[in-house]
Structure 1
Amino acid sequence: MSTAATVNARAAASSFTMKIQGLDAPTLSSLVRNLGRSLANPPAKARRAIRRFGKIVGKTRQRAWQSDSRWKSTVRLTAVGCILLAATVLVWALKDVPWSEIRDGTLKPVVVLETAAGGPLVRQGPFQGPYAEFSQFPPQLIDAVLSVEDRRFMDHFGIDVRGIARALIRNFDAGSVVEGGSTITQQLIKLQYLDSNRTIKRKIQEFVISLWLEWKLGKQEILTRYLNSAYLGAGATGMPAAARIYFNKDIGALNLQESALLAGLLRAPSQWNPIDNFEGARQRTSVVLDAMVANGKITAPRAAQLKAGFATLHPTTPTPRSGSWFADWISPKAGEIAGASPGSTTVRTTLDPRLQRIAEKVTRNALDTEGKVVGASQVALVAMTSDGAVVAMVGGRDYKKSQFNRAVTAKRQPGSTFKLFVYYAALKAGLSLSDQVLDAPVDVHGWSPENSSGRYRGWVTLAEAFARSLNAPTVALAQEVGLENVIAAARELGIDAPLSDTPSLALGTSEVSLLDLTSAYASVHLGKAPVEPWGIVEFRAAGQAKAFRVGSHSTPSVDLSAYRPDLLALLQLVVQRGTGREANPGVFAAGKTGTSQNNRDAWFVGFTEPLVAGVWVGNDDDTPMKGVTGGALPAHIWRDFMREAMTAPATGTLEAGATSPHSCNITACSRSYRSFRPSDCSYQPYFGGRRLCEK
């Protein structure tokens, strides 16, 4: 405002004040009353202005209220939407989580395989020792693990917020990932229950399961599972296995230095395992000892003493790994026995380590020498007792290069080894070994088989025809007794492979496995049929006071005593002066040679007094060998195996003895009772507690 305007305003105010002051009291009173009446009853224009002003104020207030309501509604809707979205994400992420299996620890039951003598049967690949309870782990091992892996394990709730924050800060400072914030609970979840993909879904699962596991299991059980399932290098899964492989000790016998070494392997087992990287293991152990000092578990002088003595530590490799094909064959049955039982189940098998080593050595040497000359690249061998207990198994030349089991899975033409069933059918039809059959060209619906020599001998006895493995008289004999009876004879002795009802069946053109064929010959040795191959002696679940015998689940139902002497005579004749002379080990032996068309497969199957064994040689691509017959390379392998096998008694025993007075027929029990539990061979009746299955 300008100075002149200010002066004018002050003059006007002063003039008004002087006028008011110049009025007498009655006049001033009358003026005030008239002003009040004017304000109480304003003119029409003033009233309209006031009403308009009121409307404007009212509308403004209404709009403000409406705006506030809309804002509150928006907030509410947003909150509800967020809740629904979070619920949807949780349902999506957690719908596939096997909660009950995680709770019970039944996703990966531990099965420990033992040899017939009770020693560890270590297969190629990861080795997992017996499941250890929390009380079995030495306190120094637990201290070492917690010090280096999860110092606040006993304090957090599955997710260590402080640890995550600390890791983020250190990683940010370093410019790369140098530290993780996962807890032992989270590591257990990664090991046993979730895949390793770094996805949002897996992170959500890991977070929720961690909280749930802490509430459901508790600290001791989580730590116990983790120590039993962590991989520690050199094929060892779990601390008990690592203690055995690195130090040849039980888990409870570890000292502080050894405990620190194992704890150090958890972060990078393949990189720091002492067998391959002794210096790296030493340095890592020093890191663990320093962590234990920082955590107050040991003193600095004690740590220094242990570091200085590390050079005296000598880790040991596990015992030679044998029986790999056998372990692969028996593992499904062992897994069926273990079922979903928590903890470990120890399964004692029929495998004899000494016989297994002999089988591997003999087959390898044969392929490296004679096999190279004749073009044989693969081999299979099965050895069993007369009741079908498999004591040795070789499924190929080298398990490391090929785990395909040619003794069990492969099916090949057995050649003349199949003739056993033709002559068994003939004996059942009433013929004798002295009866004669014509060895001459034969024609069956346009098919004319020839003898391998190309010569014919005229009338020959059944015994001579079998010993010389003559084709023509065997085909004629099969036609005489009927192919349906030949097939029935094979079935009776245990052959369950598809058999073609064609004349060539008599010469072994239908494919069978070496295991089944060897079992059929075992039936002749036993004098009862069929013999079912088996590989488990007994089992014992963790916490069970006794073991349960398994053995063979089939009882041979066919009595062969009426025909066994003649069948033995036929098979002995083959070894004494027939096609199997090269298999003669110098003691009682009986068996049969077999060669498929164009020398693609060569076999020898037979038995001595203690053992039944079958051998096959050939090539995976089915290419012919150079003149190999069953009486040559397979017979040599069989002879060499039997000679060494009989030089000393077996190292194992197939008798379960007093430890397993009860035999558990798992197959029959599982079929009879839906509630059957293999771990203790029991079932739940309608009333009362669980009962022992005695099928």
Structure 2
Amino acid sequence: MESPLEPRKRRGRLAAGLLAIDAWLDSSLYELRFRAQQFWENATVFFRRFRVKGWRRGIIELLSEAFTLGAGGSVVMLALAMPAFEETTSDWRNQDDFAVTFLDRYGNEIGQRGIIQRDSVPVDEMPDHVIKAVLATEDRRFFDHYGIDFLGLFRAMSENMRANSVVQGGSSITQQLAKNLFLTNERTVERKVKEAFLSIWLEMNLSKKEILQLYLDRAYMGGGTFGIAAAADFYFGKQVKDLNLAEAAMLAGLFKAPTKYAPHINLPAARARANVVLTNLVQSGFMTEGQVLSARLRPADIIDRGERKSPDYFLDWAFEEVQRIAAKSGVHSLVARTTIDMNIQRAVEESLEYHLRQFGKEYGVTEGAVVVIETNGAVRAIVGGRDYGASQFNRATRAQRQTGSSFKPYVYATAMENGFTPESVISDAPISWGGWSPKNYTRGFSGRITLTTALVKSINTVPVRLAKENLSIPPIKAMAEAMGVESPVSSHKTMVLGTSGLTVMDQATGYSVLAQGGVVGTRHGINQLVTHAGQVVYDFNKDALPPRRVLSEQAVASMNSIMVQIPETGTARKAALPGIRSAGKTGTTQSYRDAWYIGYTGNYTAAVWLGNDDFTPTNKMTGGSLPAMVWQRFMAYAHQNIDLKPIPGIENPFVDPATVAKADEAAKAGAEAAATDAADRPPVLSSTTTRTLRDIATFFQQAPAIEPPPEPNTLSAL
């Protein structure tokens, strides 16, 4: 049995142990504090030797701050450099490995892309005056800087300030090459930052001679030519080795603005620009005035090739399609039979330029892009900007711009697939979603309305209410992607009002599903790829994936029954075609930065975007104004002299006069005037006739040659 004293003894031992631990902690902490104070005192005494006063202290403080800022700046610079260096992961040296000749839908040659243009001429084999003319004009200190010429940039800024306009560029040849190889002409701060880092990367990985070689081989030189060798042949019918000083000066003047100074378009402007290049040669010290005098007195003459204008934006996109399609074939020298219709292409270019010239200043808009797709999926026209020479950035296939209300049809199409009808009633009333309270354009509300009224009047609260209370975001996102949108679609709730950035090609592809009865997968720009020997490498009708249905016929009919009312009585009355029923939707983004109109008939779907490259707001331009007018002008032309097809779900392709009478008379008059101004479209062959003629031509090309009978022996005949 345990003694009564045992618990007391255990408690005593425990208390003694705890007291010992407490004493150890106290003594250890005291010792640690004492040693820390001693260390700090010794360190203070040691560093006191380095203490400076007066002006020396100021220098030390500045160096210290500089080190701190430099360390932080290095981290920021690394973060900015990473996206730029990701651009170099592709096989950029061999991007022009393909050699492709392009034909239009009728078999006419429209241009070339890739190495077929001309074999590269080594820099060492080019005449000295050719190299000097380029360097004197584009980058005088090319061999002295490391990618970025700060002295040249300062000089250009000074000259521009003195002239109160942009008269000199500050970009080095390396920077221009970085833009040509990896980037676009989009005017953003992000692009300029990437350009600077990539310029340094090129200088680290390539020699000066290699940089200059790539620049001369890949720069756009006007007339559909790339590289100085191709330009020498196109303009002068010569090899680079045979160019004289006057011709070299004219070519060197093309790098700045190849379309503006292209000699086959404007020879006087090209000669004036060449004279500037000759002046640059003298000012840079590369040549004397006496050496350039002969070139001034005898300016270059060119070969008369007419005003040939190739559809360069379409060719750039089609070239990417060829590379994608033929990548596994192993054949790189090809003839591509494309889908482009040059009549429609020219009509689109004319309409865009006409309206930007007439109304661009009034609306504060400088750029636009258009894509036209026939209901069989063939891409008939692509315009990626006003001037390919000034900017090769394809705004139709690469620029992702917010869509505004033009995204709403994807929301309504999802609703139609989920049991809603055009007559379904929903409330147009104030709504909040996670702190977001969207407003209508008119700032008012209409109460309970049908989905037809909501889409025709472009009410904002209704698609938001559909997404929040009935559909949710994922099905809407999935529907947009299923209808052919290839750009990333945001999953944020604001996406229902068009905050996602889509391309013009995305919009044309998505809306064409409604024009084709709910089918997707038919869009194409290449009909056939054949070798120069006539071997078929790819045929769209045989090799393309079969189309698939993404919208039911009922959903398509419901959507089209609403969409046809928008050009007739809704927000797009300026897009109404004379006597022809069309459907479409306008779109305008916040601060009027982007304006859209995407419309379709039973024959064609076309998407139009207008805005500014630097994202500056326009002067209150809406999708129902200038974009609708651009669309109306070229679509009125495209529908002349063809068999009109009805829009799926709409029996009659012609406009009911009674419906037209209800539309705004002023908008109707403006549309008719624009249609009257449009040029008449020449009659074209039907697709069946075109296919038959092409088959006949192929038959004769492949048929064995018939040998002529042998000539009689003259001696034996005698």
Could you state the TM-score of these two structures normalised by the residue count of structure 1?
0.54
> Given that residues 233 and 269 in structure 1 are in contact (C-alpha distance below 8 angstroms), is that contact kept between their aligned partners in structure 2?
no
> Given that residues 318 and 525 in structure 2 are in contact (C-alpha distance below 8 angstroms), is that contact kept between their aligned partners in structure 1?
yes
In structure 2, stretches of 5+ residues that fail to align are 1-93, 120-205, 214-219, 251-261, 268-300, 643-682, 696-718
**Cα distance between partner residues in 2 of 1:343 and 1:606:** 37
TM-superposed CA distance for 1:243, in Å, is 13
Residue 632 of structure 1: aligned partner: 625
3-state SS of 2:387 partner? coil
Residue 71 of structure 1: aligned partner: none
3-state SS of 2:584 partner? strand
Residue 542 of structure 1: aligned partner: 532
> Given that residues 530 and 557 in structure 1 are in contact (C-alpha distance below 8 angstroms), is that contact kept between their aligned partners in structure 2?
yes
Residue 568 of structure 1: aligned partner: 560
Residue 11 of structure 1: aligned partner: none
- Within 5 Å, which residues of 2 pair with 1:301-312? none
TM-superposed CA distance for 1:528, in Å, is 3.0
Alpha-carbon deviations, 1:239-295, whole Å to 9, x = none? x9999968xxxxxxxxxxxxxx957876228956999699xxxxxxxxxxxxxxxxx
Residue 553 of structure 1: aligned partner: 544
Is 2:489 the counterpart of 1:496?
A: no
**Cα distance between partner residues in 2 of 1:570 and 1:379:** 27
Partner amino acid, structure 1, of 2:489: L
TM-superposed CA distance for 1:485, in Å, is 2.1
Is 2:422 the counterpart of 1:438?
A: no
TM-superposed CA distance for 1:502, in Å, is 2.7
Q: Count how many residue pairs are aligned between Structure 1 and Structure 2.
A: 417
Residue 112 of structure 1: aligned partner: 101
> Given that residues 494 and 532 in structure 1 are in contact (C-alpha distance below 8 angstroms), is that contact kept between their aligned partners in structure 2?
no
TM-superposed CA distance for 1:456, in Å, is 1.2
- Within 5 Å, which residues of 2 pair with 1:123-522? 128=117, 267-268=242-243, 315-317=303-305, 320-336=308-324, 344-483=333-472, 484-522=474-512
Could you state the TM-score of these two structures normalised by the residue count of structure 2?
0.52
**Cα distance between partner residues in 1 of 2:98 and 2:493:** 50
Residue 614 of structure 2: aligned partner: 621
Residue 582 of structure 1: aligned partner: 574
Residue 604 of structure 1: aligned partner: 597
> Given that residues 585 and 643 in structure 1 are in contact (C-alpha distance below 8 angstroms), is that contact kept between their aligned partners in structure 2?
yes
TM-superposed CA distance for 1:585, in Å, is 1.1
Alpha-carbon deviations, 1:512-568, whole Å to 9, x = none? 111011101001111133245321111220223557423583332225312111111
Distance 1:234 1:454, change over 3 A: closer
> Given that residues 102 and 109 in structure 2 are in contact (C-alpha distance below 8 angstroms), is that contact kept between their aligned partners in structure 1?
yes
Distance 1:620 1:244, change over 3 A: closer
TM-superposed CA distance for 1:631, in Å, is 0.7
**Cα distance between partner residues in 1 of 2:490 and 2:209:** 54
Residue 48 of structure 1: aligned partner: none
3-state SS of 1:128 partner? coil
TM-superposed CA distance for 1:491, in Å, is 2.3
3-state SS of 2:351 partner? helix
- Greater shift, 385-394 or 342-351, is seen at 342-351
- Within 5 Å, which residues of 2 pair with 1:56-75? none
> Given that residues 232 and 266 in structure 1 are in contact (C-alpha distance below 8 angstroms), is that contact kept between their aligned partners in structure 2?
no
Distance 1:232 1:503, change over 3 A: closer
TM-superposed CA distance for 1:350, in Å, is 0.8
3-state SS of 1:563 partner? helix
TM-superposed CA distance for 1:571, in Å, is 0.8
Distance 1:652 1:121, change over 3 A: farther
Partner amino acid, structure 2, of 1:378: E
Distance 1:335 1:505, change over 3 A: closer
**Cα distance between partner residues in 2 of 1:233 and 1:370:** 27
Residue 594 of structure 1: aligned partner: 587
Alpha-carbon deviations, 1:419-477, whole Å to 9, x = none? 10111111112111111111111111221111101111111111000000000122112
Partner amino acid, structure 2, of 1:628: M
3-state SS of 1:387 partner? coil
> Given that residues 232 and 269 in structure 1 are in contact (C-alpha distance below 8 angstroms), is that contact kept between their aligned partners in structure 2?
no
> Given that residues 607 and 613 in structure 1 are in contact (C-alpha distance below 8 angstroms), is that contact kept between their aligned partners in structure 2?
yes
Partner amino acid, structure 1, of 2:576: N
3-state SS of 2:415 partner? helix
Residue 516 of structure 2: aligned partner: 526
In structure 1, stretches of 5+ residues that fail to align are 1-104, 132-194, 203-230, 247-260, 279-312, 662-695
3-state SS of 1:408 partner? coil
Alpha-carbon deviations, 1:495-520, whole Å to 9, x = none? 23322333212111111111011101
Partner amino acid, structure 1, of 2:568: Q
Partner amino acid, structure 1, of 2:594: D
